[in-house]
Amino acid sequence: MKRKDTIIATAKKAIDTECEAIQHLSSLVDEDFANAIEFIYNSKGRVVVTGIGKSAIIATKIVATLNSTGTPAIFMHAADAIHGDLGTIQQDDVIICISKSGNTPEIKVLVPLLKNGPNKLIAITGNKDSFLGQQADFILNAHVEKEACPNNLAPTSSTTAQLVIGDALAICLLELKEFGSKDFAKYHPGGALGKKLYLRVHDISEANMKPQVKTETPIKDVIVEITEKRLGVAPVTDDNGKIVGIITDGDIRRMLNKYDEINGLKACDIMSENPKTIEANAMAVDALEHMEANGISQLLVEKKGKYAGVIHLHDLIKEGII
């Protein structure tokens, strides 16, 4: 067998092994899991997640997921805990300790210290009968039959199982808290994801120039307006500021092909009526969907029935919405 074939076969076997481990996890979710979730939900403190080795790395990810979904959490390394970091734990906090075996020397030193306080201890472990399992108030079973490592030694399937248990825990708490998209946006203000959830049309359009002409505006002035404002359009409004039409670059090109003499033409002669509009308070991502559905690259923005600006496809690209 060629080396590449061997690599592909090994990768597939590792993935299949971990898939089997994850599929088995759902059968291990029991009443203890539900009790642990309800206790965290009703607690007034934070979730302190601890572990050592690879489990510590998983713990940091679980902390990040909890924080981003509305459950305050903090990471405490198990080795550092016995050298001063136990002070991290406050009276109302809930502790989650992660360990595959539940019997490592560090865990055996740490767990009795944790039990000295008033805090409840939740174990994520692959061995319910371990030292950690016996001492914990709640056990989240993360047992796996074998690691993806061919020597059954390197933490692979077991750490994946821990990660999935942590995700399940976070999602259960998210649903109990009725944590919605608006809450998610509050915790994720940066990046494209956050912008899709909180950025509104007026946040973008107000930064743009505001082209505008009247129905009687001469074509020469319309062309100047489109050119100077650099948005490819000139909205046409009445004296009250209501949108009555739009002139685009395309309209100008079609006019030049149709007319030899343009000096007598006005905006109303070439404008398109009933242009596509969007409310200033609408979500920016809705503007994108509107543009895609209509095959256009800009929308006129309205506020209380009056012209308020233009939002362009390029604005959405610049903001990372696309």
75-127 per-position pLDDT tens digit: 999 999 988 889 999 999 999 999 999 999 999 999 999 999 999 999 999 99
Binding-site residue positions: 77
| Block residue for tokens 């496809």 | 313
Question: How do strand 73-77 and strand 47-51 relate by DSSP bridges?
Answer: parallel
With a cut of 90, say whether residue 173 has pLDDT above it. Answer: yes
Taking only the tens place, the pLDDT of each residue in 145-167 is 999 999 988 999 999 999 999 99
With a cut of 70, say whether residue 228 has pLDDT above it. Answer: yes
Determine which helix (DSSP H) or strand (DSSP E) holds 94, and give its type and residue range. strand 94-99
Q: What is the DSSP string of 138-195?
A: EEEE---S--SSTTS-SSSHHHHHHHHHHHHHHHHHHHHTT--HHHHHHH--SHHHHH
* Sign of the four-CA dihedral 159, 162, 164, 170: negative
Residue with the bigger pLDDT between 188 and 120: it is 120
Binding-site residue positions for Zn(2+): 77
Q: Side by side, which strands form the sheet with 306-312?
A: 277-279, 298-303, 306-312
pLDDT of residue 171: 95
Residue with the bigger pLDDT between 303 and 189: it is 303
Q: How far is CA 142 from the centre of its chain?
A: 26
Give the global pTM. Answer: 0.68
pLDDT of residue 292: 93
pLDDT of residue 185: 64
Q: What's the mean pLDDT in 282-296? A: 92
The domain locations on the chain are 3-179, 201-318
Just give the CATH number of 201-318: 3.10.580.10
Taking only the tens place, the pLDDT of each residue in 300-317 is 999 999 999 999 999 988
Mean pLDDT score of the chain: 92
pLDDT of residue 121: 97
Q: What's the mean pLDDT in 119-142? A: 96
With a cut of 70, say whether residue 187 has pLDDT above it. Answer: no
What lies within 8 Å, CB to CB, of 24 at 6+ separation is 143, 144, 145
Looking at domain 3-179, its CATH class is: alpha beta
Q: Nearest-CA neighbor of 238 among 195, 264, 267? A: 267
188 — pLDDT class (breaks 50, 70, 90) = low
With a cut of 80, say whether residue 183 has pLDDT above it. Answer: no
178 — pLDDT class (breaks 50, 70, 90) = confident
pLDDT of residue 191: 60
With a cut of 80, say whether residue 193 has pLDDT above it. Answer: no
Q: Nearest-CA neighbor of 223 among 231, 234, 214, 215? A: 234
Q: Say whether 201-318 and 3-179 share the same fold.
A: no
pLDDT of residue 131: 97
Phi-psi region of 283 (alpha: psi -120 to 50; beta: other; left: phi over 0): beta
Q: Is the Cβ–Cβ distance between 262 and 256 less than 8 Å?
A: yes
